[in-house]
Amino acid sequence: MSDKTQYKLRIENQLIARLHELGTKCGYSSGNEFAADALDRFAETLAEAIIEEQKEMERYHKNQRKQILDSLRSERNQ
């Protein structure tokens, strides 16, 4: 049996109905199973996007620092 943890979330009835409808359409046994899988996939995708954004910001800042240092060195050599 899989471990289950219940969270006390406030979810509108429309969303519950939509999750049930989509879960059935996708072959899941319940809306809860579909919601759990969808949330897991979304969380994984979001985490990957955040990590990639952080890496891009590091590259950007590193390049920006290099340009500033090059500019300062150029000014000093004039």
Q: What is the pLDDT of residues 18-50, one digit of tens each?
A: 999 999 999 999 988 999 999 999 999 999 999
> What does the block give as tokens for 67?
């340009």
Q: Is 1 inside any structural domain?
A: no
Q: Is 8 inside any structural domain?
A: no
Q: Is 44 inside any structural domain?
A: yes
Report which of residues 38 and 4 the model is more confident about: 38
pTM for the predicted model, two decimal places: 0.65
The residue whose two tokens read 């471990």 is 3
Separation of alpha carbons 53 and 65, rounded Å: 18
Q: Is 50 inside any structural domain?
A: yes
The pLDDT of residue 7: 73
Report which of residues 1 and 6 the model is more confident about: 6
Q: Is 6 inside any structural domain?
A: no
**Other beta carbons within 10 Å of 3:** 4
Domain tally, the chain: 1
The residue segments making up the domain with residue 60 are 13-76
